[in-house]
Chains A and B, each alone.
Chain A
Amino acid sequence: MADLLPEHPDFLWRNPEPKSSYDVVIIGGGGHGLATAYYLAKNHGITNVAVLERGWLAGGNMARNTTIIRSNYLWDESAAIYEHSLKQWEVLPDELDYDFLFSQRGVLNLAHTLQDVRDSVRRCEANRLNGIDAEWLDADQVKEVCPIINTSDNIRYPVLGATYQPRAGIAKHDHVAWAFARKADELGVDLIQDCEVTGFVKDGDRVVGVQTSRGTIAAGKVALCAAGHSSVLAEMAGFDLPIQSHPLQALVSELHQPVHPTVVMSNHVHVYVSQAHKGELVMGAGVDAYNGYGQRGGFHVIEEQMAAAVELFPIFARAHLLRTWGGIVDVTPDASPVVSKTPIDQLYVNCGWGTGGFKGTPGAGWTMAHTIAHDEPHAYNAPFALERFSTGALIDEHGAAAVAH
């Protein structure tokens, strides 16, 4: 039997045994953890780094998202970090020497009410002031960009127009993780899977190591990149986060001929959909209302957003649901991330990306690596510190987040 199988392809990274000590330990081997490790090595020359992953690399939200990449957020602080992220997406396939199918096919954020229109036009103008490509399209122009949308007025919430960001797009999420992992590994980073952190070793107010299912590992600095489980780790380390973890579901259809040329998101009827390179329609739902760590949610949430999808795209009525799944998203009160120092010395946290972390992968990694290397935030993540929840300088992106929560 074995001789009937092809040769195993080359492994993209080593699977080393953990060393007893590292300069930096990153907890969480998803996109953000891997990107942080990569930028620590590339931008700051720090390579004595371990990424600890309790399951397998990129098996959490990195494997479960709907791969939408865009930077059309409202506020200056968000525009800066998300646009920096998008600029990295544009150079990463070359930089990582890995074609992860980044496809800049544009995103339409639909408006269905007069208030939607006002908010959307305002967001376009704000984006343009921040150098982000954004334009307002009326319903006919929406139809030109995406001919399968029903723009007639015979539906409950007719499409009145949309914001359009042509540089937005999608990428193959698994390959993005593997690209970062391979390059980080080449630069000397140890990627350690099946290694769950069970506690922190502290010397007074300073973190000096982590206890894991594979022994204690000393660390000069520790970074949390654990998305939905950030609160659990923070509690273990002895501080609190303003995070609530919710289930967020997505789904794919069977494979179809290419019919959907762009990415469409609608806050109001609530669906977001693109068509993956293979041909399946990829759709996302809103979060389930309750707190949950179960990586699954209620089917009524799926049902609601499929109803919205079929109303907007009548041809989807003939598509069959192939698979649904859930992830755990870490939601903050202002729908903006936390990329920050913590009350514990030499311990850093990157979390709170909620429903939109995939697009932020390079930006999170870039700014987190800077924060770890300098023990000070980068200009792009300074506004996203934990302090904003006592100063009141919130960065409210519930409108641009485009996923109900």
Chain B
Amino acid sequence: MILISCPDCGPRDETEFHYGGQAHVPYPEEPSTLTDEEWGRYLFYRENTKGIFAERWVHSSGCRKWFNVLRDTVTYRIAAVYRNGEPRPTLDGDSQ
């Protein structure tokens, strides 16, 4: 069970949340101009990082707001929580 700090409600059990996968995936600006390959990539391809991963969570049983988390996909430890629309924070030792 992961303890997730909702930006509005504070630390709550993972079971109060739902997962939304990779964060920062924008809807294509001009969907009608995409090739089938590009549309397929938008629909079906997501990063599958081993290590620090920027991902979305929603506090379904609380404030029902979406937010973003930086989490290590090996240790499952959460490194940062930030609000929707905010840029991805830089971590110490982060090369990104």
Contacts and interface: CB of A to CB of B under 8 A. Distances in A.
Interface of A: 229, 231-232, 240-245, 289-294, 298-300, 333, 389-392
A289 B19 contact: yes
A244 B21 contact: yes
A392 B44 CA distance: 10
A389 B53 CA distance: 23
Contact of A291 (B36, B39, B73): B73
Given A242-B45, A245-B48, A291 B55 contact: yes
Given A243-B48, A291-B55, A300 B15 contact: yes
A243 B21 CA distance: 12
Interface string B19-63: 101000000000000001101110111101110010100000000
Interface residues of B, number: 26
A291 B1 contact: no
B48 A290 contact: no
Contact of B73 (A242, A294, A298, A390): A294
Given A291-B21, A292-B73, A292-B76, A298 B40 contact: no
Given A289-B19, A293-B50, A300-B15, A242 B44 contact: yes
Contacts of A294: 73-76
Given A290-B71, A291-B73, A298 B2 contact: yes
A240 B45 contact: yes
Nearest to B51: A293
| Closest A-B pairs by Cβ, 5 of them | A390-B40, A231-B48, A289-B19, A242-B44, A389-B44
B34 to A, nearest CB: 11
Contacts of A243: 48
Interface in B1-23: 1-2, 14-15, 18-19, 21
A392 B37 CA distance: 10
A322 B57 CA distance: 33
A389 B48 contact: no
A240 B46 CA distance: 9
A245 B18 CA distance: 17
Contacts of A299: 1
Contacts of A389: 40, 43-45
Nearest to B40: A390
Among B1, B19, B44, B55, the most chain A Cβ lie within 10 Å of the Cβ of: B44
Given A229-B50, A242-B44, 8 more contacts: A240-B45, A244-B46, A245-B48, A289-B19, A290-B2, A299-B1, A300-B1, A390-B37
A291 B48 contact: yes
A135 B49 CA distance: 42
Contacts of A298: 1-2, 14
Given A244-B46, A390-B36, A290 B55 contact: yes
B19 A290 contact: yes
Nearest to B71: A290
Contacts of B46: 242, 244
A232 B50 contact: yes
23 contacts: A229-B50, A242-B44, A243-B48, A244-B46, A245-B48, A245-B73, A289-B19, A290-B19, A290-B73, A291-B48, A291-B49, A291-B73, A292-B73, A293-B73, A293-B74, A294-B75, A294-B76, A300-B14, A333-B43, A333-B44, A390-B37, A390-B39, A390-B41
Contacts of B37: 390
B1 to A, nearest CB: 5
Contact of A391 (B36, B55, B74, B76): B36
A291 B22 CA distance: 9
A298 B50 CA distance: 18
A54 to B, nearest CB: 13
Interface in B48-96: 48-50, 53, 55, 71, 73-76
Contacts of A289: 18-19
Contacts of A232: 48, 50
Contacts of A292: 73-74, 76
Contacts of A290: 2, 19, 55, 71, 73, 76
